[in-house]
Every structure is written in C-alpha cells, then in structure tokens.
Amino acid sequence: MTIQEVKFYQVGSRAVGNRLLSEDLRTEQANENRTNALNSGHRACQGCGEALAARYVLDTAMDAADGQLAVVNATGCLEVFSTPYPESSWQVPWLHSLFANAASVASGLAAGLRTSGRGDVRVLAQGGDGGTVDIGLACLSGMFERNDDVFYVCYDNEAYMNTGVQRSGATPPAARTATTEAVGPEPGNRFGIGKDLPRIAMAHEIPYVATATVAELHDLEAKVRHAMSLRGARYLHVLVPCPLGWGSAPADTVRIARLAQRSGLFPLFEAEHGTVTSVVPIRGRVPVEEYLRLQRRYAHLFAAAGDADRQAATLRAVQAIADRNIARYAIPVEEL
Amino acid sequence: MRSQIEGSRAIAQAIARCRPQVVPAYPITPQTHIVEALGAMVKSGALAGCEFITVESEFAAMSAAIGASAAGARAYTATASQGLLYMAEALFNASGLGLPIVMTVANRAIGAPINIWNDQSDSMSMRDCGWVQLYAQDNQDAVALHVIAFRLAQELSVPVMVCVDGFVLTHAVEAIDVPGAEIVDAFLPPMSARQRVDPSDPVAIGAMVGPEAFTEVRFLTDADLRRAAHVFPAQASEYLRLSGYHVGEVSKYRLDTASTVVVTLGSVSGTVREALDDMDGDIGLLTLTMYRPFPAAVVRSALAHASQVIVLERAFSPGAPEGPVTADVRTALAGTGADIKTVVAGLGGRAVTRSALHAMLATALAGELPAVSFLDLRADVVERELARREAGVAT
Amino acid sequence: MNKPFAITLDVKSSLANHTGTWRSERPVYVDGLPPCTHACPAGEQVQAWLYAAEDGSYEQAWRRLVNDNPFPAVMGRVCYHPCETACNRADLDTAVGINSVERFLGDEAIRQGWRLPQPGAATGRRILVVGAGPCGLAAAYRLRRLGHAVTIREAGSTAGGMMRHGIPTFRLPRDVLDAEINRLLELGITLELGARVDNLAEEMRAGEFDAALLAMGAPLSKRAYIPAAQSARIIDALGLLADVAAGERPQLGRTVAVYGGGNTAMDVARTARRLGAEEALIVYRRTRAQMPANDIEVEEAEAEGVRMTWLSTIAGVVGDTLTIEKMRLDDDGKPQPTGEFEELHADSVVLALGQDVDRGVLATLPGIAITDGVVEVGAEMMTSVAGVFAAGDLAPSVRSVTVAIGQGNAAARGIDGWLRSIGSSAPKPTAPSSAVPVAFGQLNPWYFSDAPHVVRPRLDTARRTDDFAEVVGGLDADTALYEARRCMSCGNCFGCDNCFGVCPDNAIHKVAEGHGYAVDYDYCKGCGLCASECPCGAIVMEPEET
C-alpha cells in the first residue's frame, strides 16, 4: 500500500479532517454523511475505545462496500452495550450469536449470501480479544484456513472487560486484572505467556493481516479500505484502550493508544500472505514508562511502597518487549 | 425413485432434492456417509447452488448454519453424539433466534466411555434445546421426515432435528424410494425466512434481553414450537398426497383394544412389532415420530384403553426416577390410572432381540415388571461389580 | 420482515436512551484569546486574519486585519512583532511568521487595489486630530468609520509622522507608506498639512469640534550635555533621519559615531553606512543585553557592518576626535564612570538619545496634567481636560509605530464612547478583558507537523549598504500560505473535525452556524476526548450544573 505525501496543511494528515484538505484526503469520520454504524445512546463507558473503533471501522467498511455490508458480532462489551433490549445503536445489518463463534457464523453468513444471489454483500465479523484469541480461536483459525470471504476485526482491550476485567490471552505482562491481581511475588499478569494474534493470523498466510489503533485514524481507515478491496480471509487487530479496565482517564483514550504505538509496545504493520508489507514509523519514540504511568493497571510498578528492584526489573522487561518489537518489524523511528 | 441404497445415501439424496444452499459439515461416526455424499454432489456440480463448508468442529458447523440461515439461505448439517453436545450452545442459540435449520442426528451413545453405536442418549440430552425432534422408524420414514422437516422449519421459524438411529438405519442397505425432484419441488416452496440480514432493511438480530422480557420471549418460542402440533399433520397430509407416503406424529399398532402398550421411538419399533406378532396377548405398540413438541393429546387419546404402558427407552438419565420419555408419557396420561413402566433397552448399540422382548413382555403381562428395568442386563457382571464396590476391593 | 419480539431490534432504537444524564462535566466550545492577538499592541485579531489567509482568501484576511489596523504593509516592515514573540508555535518548532504574512497581505492589497471599508452613517460629530503620525491616522480612520467627521491638522508638510521621518526608506519604502496613507484618506478625512495647532481650545471652538485628539508624538530629540568644541560635528538623529527621508543626502564623513542604544540609533547607523560612511560605530553606555533596540534591528545593523562599543559614554568631542569614558555596571546594574578614557576618530557624532514631547501646544491647555514628560490619560485616553484626548508617543507608551496605532484605536473608541455619553462626567469604561491568553499546554501539539518558519529573502549585505532599497523582501503567495497555515489557531476552532470524529457516542454534530460543531448534550457523556484531542484548545470541560 502506498502512502501519499500530503502537502503540508495546518494539521498535516493527522487530524480527522481539515477544511483546507480536499475531501478525498480527509477521513471518513470527517464526512457528515458517514454511516454512524454505532449511533448514540449506547451504554459504553465514557471514553470507550472500543465504541470509537467500531464506528471507525464500520463507517469506513460501509463506505468501501457502498453500504452492502453485514456485521457479525461476538458476545462481549461491544455487543452488550449496544443491544440491550429494547435499544440497539447499530445502523448496519447486525447479527449476534455466541461468544466463540463470530468467525464461523460469518463464514456461514457469507456462504448464505452468495447462494442467495447476494454475493455483493460483504461480511465483517468483530469481537473483543477474549472472543478472538481465546474462546474464539478455533473458529477463527478455521475461517482463516478455509480463506473464507470474511473480514475479521478484533478490538483488543487486553482482558475480558465485559465480565469484570479478567485476564485473557491478550493481557500484556505485568498488567493487573481481576484474575491476575497486583499482589504476591509476581504481581499482575505473568511474563512469557499470551498470544500474538496478528502473527498467528500471518502464520495462516491469509491475504491480509494488519494492526491499528484508535489514535491513528488515517492509518486505520486506509487499512480497512485495503481489506475491503480484497476477497478471502482478512484480519485487523485494533488496540482499544479501556478506561475502566486499564484504570485510565476517559479523556486519555486516544492519547494512550498513541503512546502504545510510540513506545513500540504496539507496532503498526500490514502483512499479506504471511509477509510483512508495511510498517508505520514511530514519530517521537517514548520509553514504555510514559505509556504505563497513565494506567492504574500498572500502578504497582510505580507505587512508592513497592519493591524498587522488582519494579525496575519489570519495567526493564517491558521495555525489552518494546525494543524487540521495533527490531523485529524494523520500525523506523523519526523525530517528533 | 426406488433403489437398493444405503440409508445415509438415501437421506443425502433427499436432502439434495430439498435444494439446500449451505451445508457446513464436520465428520462423526455414524453420520459421515451423509455429509460425504452431499459433499460429492456439491463438488461434482450435481447439487448446484449449494456451498459445502468443511468446518473445524461441530460447534463451527452449527454456527455456520446459523450464519447461513440468518442470511435467509436454506441451511443443513448432520451430527451425532459428542458432536451434538459440542454444538449444544449453538443449538439453543439457533432456536432462540428462530432460525429454520434442519439437521440429521445419527443417534449414537454419549461417552464416557466412548461408544460409537446406536442409542438415543444424544438427542434425548438435547430435548430442552427448543428444536423440533422427529424420530425415523426406518429409512423410508427418514427420507420423508427430512423433506417435511425443511418445510416445517420454514413454516414455524423453528429448527428441526431428524433423528435416525446410527448404523441401524444409516448404514443399512435396503430398498428405499427417494422422492423425485418434481414431488419435492411441488411440496417444498422456495426458501423464505421470517427475518434475515439485509442491508436494505438493517436490523440487529440477537439482542440482550433482560428480566423484563425474557419470559415472554421464551413463552413465544414455546408457542412457535407448539404450532407443529397442527402444522405437521397438515404438511404430512400434503406429502402423502404428493408421494403416497404416510407419516404422522405417532404410529399406532394394535391399539384399538390392547390394554398393555409398548411406547417407543425410532427403529426399535420394527423389532417390537415383530416380537408382538410372535405373541398372543393383547399388546399394542405406539411409536412416537414427533417427540418435541410432545404430542400429549395424541398420545393420551391413542392410549385411552391402556392400563399398562411400557416405555421402551433408548436412553437413560442416571439418577432420574424413570426414563425421559416415560416422564412425558406419564404427564400425558395423568389421571387415567395407567401403570407406566420404564424399560431401558439397547444402550450403546446392544442388540434388542425378539427373545429379550418376549421375556420382558411376559413379565409385564404377569404384572411383575418393575418400575424401571434394563432389558437384557448382564446381571452377573453388575452384581459382581456392585459387590466389589461394597467391599472396597481394589482390582 | 416479521421480526421476533425482543430478539431483533430496529435501527435508531437506542436514541431513546439519553446518556447525557451520565455527565459530571460537559465540553464547551470557547473562543480563547490567542497569545498573538493578546500581544498585538495595535489590537489586531491576529489569529482571525491568519485563519482567513489560510485558504487563500487574502482579501478576506486583509479586511479582517484592517478592521483594526489600516497599515499592514507598513507593519510588515517596521513592526517588532511581539505577536511572534508570544506565538505558541515557538514551543513546537519556530514562531509563525505573522509579520511576513501581514506584509504579504498589505502588499497584495496595494497590488490588487483593495479599498478600506466605507464610513458608517454620519453622526454629526466633528473631531480634530492633531498630528498625522501613525497614532493620529489610525484614530482618524476608526473615527471616520464610526461616522464622525474628522479633520487632521499636521504641522509638517507631509503625513506619516515617524513612519516617514524616523524610519529609513530601506526599511519602509515611501511608495508603500504613501499608498496606505492615501487609501486611508479616501474615506473622507480632511487632512490639513502645514497646519500647526498652537491654541487647541481656540481651534476647537472655531472649528466647532466636539472632541480633540493630541497625537503630535515626541518629535524632539533628547539632549545630553556633551562638551564640544565649535569644530565638532554633532547632529541630532531625528533631524538626520528626517532630512534623509526628505531626499537629502547629508555627508557625514567616513566614520560616524552614533550615541545611543535604541532603534533610532540602529536606523541612524545603517543610514550612515548608506550615506557613504565606511564605519558606523554605536556608542552605548550600558551593555548589549540592556540596550533598548530591538534584536532584529541590532542583527540587521551588525550584518551591515555596524560596530558597537558598550559601556561607553561620550565625554567630549573636539574636531574629529571623540573622547569616550568607559563605564562599569554597579551592583544595581547602573553604569558608573571608571575614569578610563579612550580616544576615537569620528567625522560626525549623531545623538540618538531618545525623544521628547513638544510641550508648546500643551501649554495652552490649562489643567492638562503632564507627568514625566508625557500627558496623563485615563483608561479611555482622555486627558484631564474634558473632550481632549491624547495617545501615541505623547502619552505614556512603549514608543513604536504599532503601539501608536493601538493607542490611536483606543483613543478613537474612547472619543466615540464619550461622545455618546456627553453630559456624563467621564466616558463609560469598556469592560476589562479578563481573558488569559491560551498557553501552549492547552494545545494538543501532536496534530501539527514540524514546519519551521519560512525565512524572508534578504538582500545580500554588500548590496544592502550601497543603497536605500528595501532590505527585506516579502513572501510570495505560496510561502505566505505556508506560513499562515503554520498557525495553531490557539483557542479558536479551525475546523479540523477532530471533535466530530473522536466522540465515541456520536454526540458532536456539524452545524451551519457558530463554531461549525455542536455538542448534543442529550447523549454527551462528558468523557472529555473532544477537549483532549482538540489541537488548538478550543474546547474546555466545565462542571455540569447540578
């Protein structure tokens, strides 16, 4: 995918829109006529990253598909806060079945649409990290392996948030959750465990795998559009901060996602058929601490009463993860 | 068209006549020949307009069927035993969403211990999942029930499982008349769904329903299911008219006068009839084809003359006071004073023999049949093992 | 579709749930005070005209600008741009080149022949403005637009004041100055040149003027006692500059010493070089850090080869010999004589020691209060004499063209306000501005790209000192646009759509009026993401009223 060099405008190409930019260079979110796939009135927490990401992804997908889109949603926060009878915030055709089966339902939906003569309707499946990397992994892997024509989007807030912030296979090391409390000799989630779903997806050699965050909207939309231009199994992994579960300020959701990427802990890249094809440079690299300090789930790493040696060792270990990511993906680092 | 054909393949042909659009399939003994046959038909082009999806588990199979059905497409799958349990969550989901999926259950025992042979533990364990349950007595029955099942599902917006005794029917090669396309097309209208995923009319299917409305939703699901009581007979009549083949919610044999009646489901009813033909005595047979919704009124009226009812169960729930079908029959006969007994027979593929049936029925006629008994139980084995348990002896 | 009860829900059904009740604080769009606007002595709405310039609407930008200051082409050449000093962009890369853009707009207006806004309905009031310098002209412009009849009486033969007489042509070409003055006069302002006002009260009665503005500036050079023989060539700076402005080319000799450390001293030194001096030497009694001249002026002078000697006072001049006494700073930072002397050669010595007010006309105004050599004025620029106002170098002020214009604006507002309230003892005070300028910390600078300041082209040094041609060139349209677009629009929405895009609850909508966005308080949960991601700090969170 090529990135166009945009002539300098007041806010460059980072803001949602810009009156000085031609409309084709603005994001879909800048469009007054965007679908608003997830409309007002939903019960997500203040500052919910997942609610924001879902609208970002689906509005773009709807635009790319000319409105011919159907969405399958796994059980989780997104599903629960958006469809409590009698209120639904969805403005797109939407189907919720179970926790583990969004990918399979989507495969079946796609086949059902094709055999009903509506193969023009595109299918998008979405779920949280729990429903994707843990309980939903078998179905997801099956969908990948068959190269079913489904675009799967995982909104990763790094724990089972809907049920009260329990650890998932996507919970990062040292993070506090309700099942990995910040107590005992190894507070928070253990090191050396956890699943890297984007790499698992790449191992299936599916047509398209990408990562994105709610902080880089232009990048996220470009990736959604590219995914929608392809057929077959596609996967997008979006980092979505959760103010409640991460213990962060609602107003900081975008900022934290940005710091995750700038620290190297959440690399932004694309891959096709198992090979990385693009990487987003880090603009203004930050030490992991700058990202971690904003989240109370890491407060035990900075508490004055804590074991300073252990805290320092843990921070070094987290920093090492970030360093490794930057090396592994050869992420260029630019001045701010 | 009548031919010598294996039961599974006849079923596959019947399915194919019904123009399924999406068939997700995961193999499990003894259903495999059904899905293999369908797979070959799709791959060769013989079954056009259908996608055959080799999924990675039964849970995925039912999930894909849910997706396909939600698209408004005709969806079908088959499973048995462990596979049925593995998709249990999805079964409830399909009926809860009101999706007209049809599935064959090739009845097989449930482990542990693992056992690939026939009994009805699997479908019995799922009798609460909100699906219509139809039990085939023989392969001709199976063929007819599958064709009717698609129309029944579509009419009720309720999923339907057709239970076919594994190996006994699925792998039996016999003369079966599979209705031709002209009969099936005349009987089964094109697929149309009550609701579907559609960009031109977007809705959110699968909301979270709280205490204030859940009871009503369940009540309505039950009401939808119960409509089978009159829809099924009407459809069966039409099928009879078109094909010449008769099915009903129940089959009656010598019930006009019998005071002792055996009640059963599935292929064992053929053996029971043969056993009855060998015997004198006033014994009749009621075979249930429709088990869910339970046709209580029909059962009550069929058993009007019975004073002793022996329910021949093909499944058993450990710790239950009696067999599952027995309990439903007892409810249907409440107040009639009939004496109702459970006889558990043929678990895990144990052959149900005429001689065993004769012996059991003789005991019944003598009034000595216990409330619950196991046909053909190897008493020596169980006594020995019970004694060992008592003594706490290590092996 | 025959939708099953409760399982299937319709679109828009969630709109019944007014999540706005969750809030404990709410986002509010503000019009913050940009630091550039706050810093501009002339009262320009700097961010506002930059905003208009950003999409190439130069005439619109110019009109916004001249709403407050009719001299953008002049400003772009002589203003010391405190706006740039205050500019928050300096904390990101470098300050926006506001001054360059202002010059571009001013020059473009002259090129395109844009006219100033026409006066409003006639009020029937007559106002006398004494002095046609930047203060008087600016005041006249504003008063005329308000519909008053304005007469300017200028003692000299040309209008412009220090703009013409005090600033050399290599900083401010005369055609530019003339264009802006003449354009202003088109509004129907009566300008009487060579009309020195001696008795103000008399002239007000005779001319039936309802109010007067004293804007004669401080045209007199300050004196210092320097023992000098008859043979010494000692010239006063203002006089020199005025002569040069009038077209004369006085011969100052090869070496010129300029006594003083202000902007005038710099102008004189640079002028001296152009008049043929090989060497121009600034003699200043304190240090470089303490000298009042603007940094830019000092740099320009040094680039042109002007030398400077610090901590030096002139003890005496005999012929072409200058005796300098070295000074040192005492503990209070005040220069003290050291008793060490040095002799330098200087063909001329120019005194640039500051300016004084001409008190002549003031003497005819009984009761006018004068303190420290300037006329005392109230908040609305009225003197102690009712109906007589004073502004510019004449009043307490930091002396520059820009400040003079700002004071002229203030005086015009004061006069207008007073005229409306005639009968009351004092003009109604305008509401004090309590707004604090937007600080860098209130912005979200992530959204702005690095884009260092565009530097204006300059003449090469060698060429520069040969002639009086303008030294600093202007921006062209592309680079002016580029520069304007570096503005971060501090505290003022510039339509980036971030708020519209970043609300997880779709509670911000685009509207045609106002700021262009409106918060739907029925659904806004008060998360604060909009405020946090607003690049320019135009959204603040306020506590929800209980």
pLDDT tens readout for residues A77-112: 999 999 999 999 999 999 999 999 999 999 999 999
Distance (Å, whole) CA C202 – CA C199: 5
The pLDDT tens digits of the residues spanning C278-307 come to 999 999 999 999 999 988 889 989 999 999
| Exposure class string for C241-267: b at 16+ Cβ within 10 A, else e | bbebbeeeeeebbebbbbbbbbbbbbb
Q: Is the previous residue joined to A86 through a cis bond, with omega within 30 degrees of 0?
A: yes
CB spacing of B216 vs C11 below 8 angstroms: no
Size of interface B-C (CB pairs under 8 A): 50
Contacts of B225 in chain C (CB under 8 A): none
* Average pLDDT of chain B, as a whole number: 96
Mean pLDDT of chain C: 90
| C360 CB neighbour count, 10 Å cutoff | 13
Fold agreement (C14-31+493-543, C224-355): no
In CATH, which superfamily holds the domain spanning C224-355? FAD/NAD(P)-binding domain (3.50.50.60)
**What does the domain layout of chain C look like in residue ranges?**
14-31+493-543, 35-114+443-484, 126-218+357-420, 224-355
**What CATH architecture does domain C126-218+357-420 belong to?**
3-Layer(bba) Sandwich (3.50)
- Name the nearest CA neighbour of C80 among C311, C358, C292: C292
For position C510, what pLDDT does the model report?
94
Residues of chain B found within 8 Å of residue C17, distances taken between Cβ atoms: none
CATH node for C14-31+493-543: 3.30.70.20
Q: What whole-number distance in Å separates Cα of residue A58 and Cα of residue B202?
A: 14
Would an 8 Å CB–CB cutoff place C478 in contact with chain A?
Answer: no
Phi then psi for B308, rounded to 5 degrees?
-130, 125
Q: How far is C104 from chain A (nearest CA, A)?
A: 19
Q: Is A170 on the interface with B (CB under 8 A)?
A: no
Q: Taking 70 as the threshold, does the pLDDT of residue A2 lie above it?
A: no
pLDDT score for A8: 54
Q: Cβ A121–B199 below 8 Å, yes or no?
A: yes
ipTM of this predicted structure: 0.95
What tokens appear for B367 in the block?
A: 């009034």
Q: Mean pLDDT across the stretch B328-346?
A: 97
Task: Flag if A96 and B198 touch (Cβ within 8 Å).
Answer: no
* Owning domain of residue A104: 29-334
Question: Which whole-number Å values give the CA distances from C296 to C184, C262, C267, C290, in the listed order?
Answer: 29, 12, 11, 15
**Chain A nearest C-alpha distance from C453 (Å):** 13
pLDDT of residue C1: 86
Question: CB-CB: which of A8, A15, A52 is closest to C482?
Answer: A8
Checking if the pLDDT of C424 tops 50, the result is no
CB contact under 8 A, A108 and B66: yes
Do C1 and B194 count as a contact with CB atoms less than 8 A apart? yes
Contact A17 C500 (CB under 8 A): yes
Give the least confident one: C180-189, C424-433, C527-536: C424-433
Shortest Cα distance, chain C CAs vs residue B99, angstroms: 11
Paired tokens of B76: 């079908």
A interface test, pick of C25, C446, C534 with most A CB neighbours within 10 Å: C446
- In this structure, which amino acid lies at residue C388? V
pLDDT confidence bin for C269, thresholds 50/70/90: very high
- Best CA proximity match to A102, nearest among A154, A62, A168, A37: A154
* B204 touching chain A per CB within 8 A: yes
Substitution target in B200, B203, B209, B221 with the highest count of C β-carbons within 10 Å is B203
Q: Predicted confidence band at A25 (pLDDT cuts at 50, 70, 90)?
A: confident
CB contact under 8 A, B96 and C2: no
CA distance B34 to B56: 17
Of C55, C451, C528, the CB nearest to A8: C451
Asked if the Cβ–Cβ distance from C525 to A46 is below 8 Å, we say yes
Sign of CA dihedral A147, A152, A158, A162: negative
Lowest mean pLDDT among A217-221, B297-301, C13-17, C167-171: C167-171
Interface of C with B in 11-50 (CB under 8 A): 11
Q: Which helix (H) or strand (E) holds C306?
A: none
Fold entry, domain B2-243? Rossmann fold (3.40.50)
Asked if A87 has any chain C CB less than 8 Å from its own CB, the reply is yes
The Cα of B19 is separated from the nearest Cα of chain A by a number of Å equal to 11
- On whether residue A234 sits in a domain, the answer given is yes
Q: Suggest the residue from B92, B203, B205, B214 to mutate for an interface test with chain A (most A CBs closer than 10 A).
A: B205
* pTM given for the model: 0.92
- Asked if the domains at B2-243 and B250-381 fall in one CATH topology, the answer is yes
Residue in chain B nearest C12 by alpha carbon: B203
Residues of C in contact with A32 (CB under 8 A): 510
CA–CA separation, B356 vs B348, rounded Å? 16
Burial A210-234 (b: 16+ CB within 10 A, else e): bbbbbbbbbbbbbbbebbbeeeebb
Can you give the CATH number for the domain in which A145 is found? 3.40.50.970
The pLDDT confidence band at residue C425, using thresholds 50, 70 and 90, is: very low
Provide the CATH number for the domain formed by B250-381 in this structure.
Answer: 3.40.50.920
Indicate the SS3 state at residue C160: coil
**pLDDT band at C370; cut points 50, 70, 90:** confident
- Judging contacts by C-beta atoms under 8 Å, the chain C residues touching residue B202 are 11
Question: Does B64 lie at the interface with A, CB-CB under 8 angstroms?
Answer: yes
- Assigned domain for A85 exists: yes
Q: Could you say which of 1.20.1250.20, 3.90.1010.10, 1.10.10.10, 1.10.1060.10 is the CATH number of the domain covering C35-114+443-484?
A: 1.10.1060.10
What band does B135 get if pLDDT is binned at 50, 70 and 90?
very high
Going C521 to C525 to C531 to C534, the CA torsion angle's sign is negative
Q: Is residue A269 part of a domain?
A: yes
Q: Searching chain B, which residue's CA lies closest to the CA of residue C3? A: B195
Query: Does residue C168 belong to the interface with chain A, where contact is any CB pair within 8 Å?
Result: no
User: Which residues on C lie below 8 Å from B194 (Cβ)?
Assistant: 1-4
**Mean pLDDT over residues C185-202, rounded?**
94
